[in-house]
Structure 1
Amino acid sequence: MTDTAQDLAAVIARIEEEERELVLPAFTHDDAWRLGCLLVELAEERDLPITIDIRTGSQQVFHAARPGTTPDNDSWVQRKVATVYRFGASSYLVGRQHAARGRDFNEAHGLPLQEYAAHGGAFPIRVGGVGIVGVVTVSGLAQADDHALAVEALRAFRS
Structure 2
Amino acid sequence: MTSIHDHTPGPDLLAEEQTLRLDHVDELTCHRIGAQIAERGLREGRSVAVAVYLGEWLVYKTMLPGTSLNNDIVIDGKRRVAGLEGHSSLWARNRHLDAGTTFEEATGLPLPAWAPFGGAVPLVTTQGARQGWVIVSGMSQEDDHTFAVDGIRAAQEAPDPADPSAVDQSR
Give the TM-score normalised by structure 2: 0.84
The structural deviation recorded for 1:116 is: 1.1
**C-alpha separation in 2, matches of 1:124 and 1:152:** 13
Matched, 1:88 2:86: yes
Give 1:104 shift. 2.1
2:72 equivalent among 71, 74, 78? 74
- C-alpha separation in 2, matches of 1:57 and 1:13: 25
Residue identity (%): 30
Match of 1:40 among 32, 38, 41: 38
Aligned residues: 154
Is 1:125 the counterpart of 2:123? The answer is: yes
- 1:97 equivalent to 2:95? Answer yes
SS of the aligned residue for 2:59 comes to strand
Which residue does the alignment assign to 1:19?
17
CA distance in 2, matches of 1:104, 1:35: 30
Structure 1 segments of 4+ aligned residues over 3 angstroms from their partners: none
Larger Rg: 2
1:142 corresponds in structure 2 to 140
1:45-92: CA deviation from partner (whole Å, max 9, x where unpaired) = 101100000011111000000000000000000000011111101000
Partner amino acid for 2:23?
Answer: P
Q: Aligned AA for 1:89?
A: H
Structure 2 segments unaligned to the other structure (5+ residues): 158-171
Secondary structure in 2 matching 1:136: strand
Distance 2:83 2:11 in 1: 20
Deviations, residues 84-110 of structure 1 (Å, cap 9, x unaligned): 111101000110111122212122112
Scaled by the length of structure 1, the TM-score of the pair is 0.91
